[in-house]
Amino acid sequence: MTTVTASPGTGIRRPLGPLERWYWICDQVSPLNVVSRVQVRGPLPDDALRAGLDALQERHPLLRAVIRTDAVGADPWFVHRDGLPIPLRRTPTPAGGWAGLLDDGELNEPVDWRTGPLARALVLSDGPAGAERSRHDLILVLPHYVADGTTVLTLIRQWVELAAAHLAGAPRDTTREPVRPAPEALLPAAHRGVSGLRRMVSQLVRFNGTAAVRRPRRFEAGTVVPFGERRTGLLHRELTGAETEELGAACRREGTTVHGALAAAIVSEVAQDAVGSGPARLTIGSPINFRDELDPPVPATEMGTYVTSVATIVDRRPGAPLWDMARTVSEDLRRSRRRGDPVASVNVLRLLAPRTLADSDRFLRFMDAKGPMTLCLSNLGRVGFPAVIGPWRLSGAQFVASLSVNGLFVATVNTGHDGLAWNFTYLKDAVTDERAARIADGSVAAVRSLLPGAAT
């Protein structure tokens, strides 16, 4: 049984679970951040931003925590610590915009788990804070061991809502999210004990057996980059609102999903990069949100890391329509969900993941050489982000993730009222800037080729 202690006003005290511990170890090797961004238009005073951020921190126990370990860096615990406001920095919008800022630094700058807090905030403004026509990019950066894509988009929305409430003179918000145990302690009964072990072994045997027979390619690095020197690069791309609606309608007609279409486009371009126009068989990972599968379910309003990846093997055949590949991906994911594979995957780390940074090298090297998911597509689907909060107009809500030691080329996607945000991150030097841009641009072009009226 996981030990969790808390009382109102004090916060969290509990050990990291295996999934959290693995992400924490990765973050120490090379930064593993999850970042959200939204654009706000209108006057945006500093006092409202600060008040909203302080209220957000009071709401979530993990925003008032640090990590403590024993003398040799083992047995990590989340421990409450008072008096450390979330850092907030405001600067003029740089020449490269918010995406350039992430590419230049924020994706590769760790959050200090020893001193806390486990988040930082930035505001980029293209004009005076009080000007009606000014635009501001709000950015939140959190480590992956306390946040996933759902978390960071939830938090940035709550930040804006709490800032708007302060500006309107509303009573101080007193909402406090609960202190939950680690994700593994919330697994449903079918995934605990002997039953959970059987499901986990069955999943491993099934995938490894299929991989041994079909022998798919991985996305491979052009240059080996030592673990401690790894840095993430970012390429921001998007589809318009009209294009997104057309894509959704086309996917429904073809009996597949938007996720399937995006994955097929990426696999097609990676195959082209690897073998040219010939046949290729590749593996792509899909991180899956398992909050609803837990007991009890964890609402999207709460912080935490609740995603795990499942792998799909996809054939790219010369001349075959992209829709065939899209259906392969979407059907495989449906089967995986029915079998409970995303939840079973959480148990894998309970057995295999290292317990400390000091004993992680062997596992890291194995995953680097043999791990199947160097290529991933993390798609949150449609996110219900408001277009207006208080006096402000909002747009472009999206998330990005750095890679650390977990992959070579990853796309993060979410859809909103203003279109589909499609961010490609890649391991710099292991994947050249030119190669990453070619695959990203080719993937977007492949999706656009599926839309009505596209040139054939």
Residue 4 is predicted with a pLDDT of 45
79 belongs to a structural domain:
yes
Kindly state whether residues 114 and 204 are assigned to the same domain.
no
Q: Let me know how long the chain is.
A: 456
Which tokens is 319 given? 């001349």
Distant-in-sequence, close-in-space partners of 183: CB < 8 Å, separation ≥ 6: 17, 19, 20, 290, 294, 304, 305, 306, 346
Which tokens is 227 given? 């673990």
Residue 455 is predicted with a pLDDT of 55
178 belongs to a structural domain:
no
Q: Dihedrals φ, ψ of 189, to 5°?
A: -55, -35
Kindly state whether residues 251 and 345 are assigned to the same domain.
yes
Kindly state whether residues 194 and 159 are assigned to the same domain.
no
Range of the domain at 311: 188-448
Kindly state whether residues 226 and 144 are assigned to the same domain.
no
Kindly state whether residues 231 and 195 are assigned to the same domain.
yes
Residue 268 is predicted with a pLDDT of 96
319 belongs to a structural domain:
yes
Domain count, the chain: 2
The domain that holds 133 is classified in CATH as 3.30.559.10
**Final residue belonging to a domain, choices 102, 135, 167:** 167
Kindly state whether residues 105 and 46 are assigned to the same domain.
yes
Q: What is the C-alpha to C-alpha distance for residues 375 and 46, in angstroms, rounded to an integer? A: 40
Q: What is the C-alpha to C-alpha distance for residues 177 and 180, in angstroms, rounded to an integer? A: 9
Q: What is the C-alpha to C-alpha distance for residues 90 and 111, in angstroms, rounded to an integer? A: 18
The residues with which 15 forms a beta bridge, in sequence order, are 77
Contact of 26 with 404, CB cutoff 8 Å: yes
What are the E-state strand segments in 84-161? 88-92, 120-125, 135-143
State the angle between helix axes of 149-167 and 46-59 in degrees (0 to 180), rounded to the nearest 10: 130
Contact of 7 with 204, CB cutoff 8 Å: no
Q: What is the C-alpha to C-alpha distance for residues 294 and 47, in angstroms, rounded to an integer? A: 38
Q: What is the C-alpha to C-alpha distance for residues 240 and 420, in angstroms, rounded to an integer? A: 7
Kindly state whether residues 206 and 151 are assigned to the same domain.
no
Kindly state whether residues 216 and 292 are assigned to the same domain.
yes
Mean pLDDT by 10 residues, the chain (456 residues): 43 93 95 97 95 97 96 93 93 94 93 97 86 88 98 98 96 91 94 82 79 85 93 97 97 97 97 91 94 96 95 92 96 93 86 86 87 92 94 97 93 94 97 98 97 73
Contact of 419 with 244, CB cutoff 8 Å: yes
The residues with which 238 forms a beta bridge, in sequence order, are 421
Kindly state whether residues 92 and 201 are assigned to the same domain.
no
What SS3 state is found at 252? helix
331 belongs to a structural domain:
yes
Half-sphere exposure of 143 (CA within 13 A, CB side): 30
179 belongs to a structural domain:
no
Q: Dihedrals φ, ψ of 320, to 5°?
A: -75, 140
Which tokens is 455 given? 């040139």
Kindly state whether residues 199 and 139 are assigned to the same domain.
no
Q: pTM of the prediction?
A: 0.94
25 belongs to a structural domain:
yes
Q: What is the C-alpha to C-alpha distance for residues 248 and 328, in angstroms, rounded to an integer? A: 17
**Final residue belonging to a domain, choices 134, 167, 200:** 167
Contact of 361 with 228, CB cutoff 8 Å: no
Kindly state whether residues 32 and 118 are assigned to the same domain.
yes
Rounded to the nearest angstrom, the gap between the alpha carbon of residue 357 and the centroid of all alpha carbons in its chain is 22
CA dist 270 to 85, 113, 189, 386, Å?
43, 36, 40, 35
**Final residue belonging to a domain, choices 167, 200, 222:** 167
95 belongs to a structural domain:
yes
Q: Dihedrals φ, ψ of 40, to 5°?
A: -120, 135
Q: Dihedrals φ, ψ of 386, to 5°?
A: -65, 150
Kindly state whether residues 149 and 239 are assigned to the same domain.
no
The domain that holds 209 is classified in CATH as 3.30.559.30
Distant-in-sequence, close-in-space partners of 61: CB < 8 Å, separation ≥ 6: 6, 11, 12, 80, 177, 179, 303
Q: What is the C-alpha to C-alpha distance for residues 284 and 422, in angstroms, rounded to an integer? A: 16
